[in-house]
Amino acid sequence: MGCEVRREYHQPVMVSEVLEFILEARRNIVVDCTVGDGGHSLEILRNSPNTFVFGIDVDDEAVSTSQKRIDRESMGRFKAVKWDYRELNRFCSRFGIARISAVLFDLGVSSRQLDQKERGFSYQVDAPLDMRMDPRLHKTAADILAEASEDELEGIIREYGEERFSRRIAREIVERRKVEPITTTGQLVEVIDSAMPKGARKDPIHPARRTFQALRIATNDELSRLGDSLAVAFSLLEPGGVLIVITYHSLEDRIVKNTFKELEANLSATIRTKKVLRATKSEVEVNPRSRSAKLRVIQNGEKGES
């Protein structure tokens, strides 16, 4: 059985697999597009002494935490920047980067974000329903619950949460908000609970988990332009450079898979993971979050070219 240990930092997933591909590339400049607490960046820096790593995140705390953490060991080879990976071209112009050796996307939410109760990502503690990774975003999760129509809510919960009781939950949200605004995680958990048929409550997965995931994806618009962002990242790779993407959701993985196929069909590109890579059993035991992780890699040019 897996056991979850509360750690100071987010525990990065599939580090050795990521390193294996990065160490094959030229390793001049690496861009970690979702730096979080810097777990992947730190391992890259430790294992590749001449590499400079840029860490990007929309979350201010991720930027300060990763910079502080890595500064303790670094080497002056790391810079964390608050930036949206959907603006990678502009990032490269701003920092004078012509070509990148490797780009990493580790999508989803970090465990630090989940643990910070006041950010409203977790269904396990009562807090305001915020869920914004980037505080500059205008709409919180509570705003979406207040403003979206029943059909829109149903679509979000079904598509992003893969929740089979999406209609019941959306209807219950609409009914409840007529009585009072739904502004806390606790209220939403209650609403979901009362929408669920009795039998479904025996499911080992918490009844609110899928809806919370869906709402987080909608609040942060996580899937929009993902394919385009990957294509832009690929276009910035030097010959032999690699684009590595870790996803935790089937919709995200489908976007990555299809984007990679298109790149391979139209450009000089090689998909290095003909079969998607999954975390090993032993990793899943120590880090249950890795259970749903899927890793795909595409290389600029032919395999072995650099």
Ligand X SMILES: C[S@@+](CC[C@H](N)C(=O)[O-])C[C@H]1O[C@@H](n2cnc3c(N)ncnc32)[C@H](O)[C@@H]1O
Options 21, 25, 27, 34; binder of ligand X; rule CB under 6 A: 34
State the minimum distance, in angstroms, from the CB of residue 225 to ligand X: 9
For residue 306, give the amino acid letter. S
**Min CB(36)–ligand X separation in Å:** 3
Of 78, 92, 102, 108, the one binding ligand X by CB under 6 A: 108
Distances (CA, A) of 112 to 9, 117, 138: 7, 10, 22
Is 183 a binder of ligand X (CB under 6 A)?
no
Binding mask 38-67 for ligand X (x = CB under 6 A): xxx---------------xxxx--x-----
Q: Does 86 bind ligand X (CB under 6 A)?
A: yes
Of the residues 17, 24, 106, 252, which one makes contact with ligand X according to CB under 6 A = 106
Give the residue carrying structure tokens 């991720």: 62
Instruction: Output the CA–CA distances (angstroms, integers) from residue 98 to 78, 82, 238, 300, 303, in the order listed.
Output: 17, 20, 9, 15, 22
Task: Note whether 13 and 277 are within 8 A (CB).
Answer: no
User: Is residue 36 near ligand X by the rule CB under 6 A?
Assistant: yes
What beta strand segments (E) does the chain contain? 29-32, 52-57, 78-82, 100-106, 237-247, 269-271, 277-278, 294-300
Query: Phi then psi for 216, rounded to 5 degrees?
Result: -65, -45
**Using the rule CB under 6 A, is 14 a contact of ligand X?**
no
| Nearest-10 crossing angle of helices 15-24, 39-47 | 40
Token pair, residue 291, equals 């259970």
Residue 65 CB, nearest approach to ligand X (Å): 9
Sole window of 103-111, 177-185, 252-260, 273-281 interacting with ligand X (rule: CB under 6 A)? 103-111
Residues that bind ligand X (CB under 6 A): 10, 12, 33-34, 36-40, 56-59, 62, 84-86, 106, 108, 110, 133
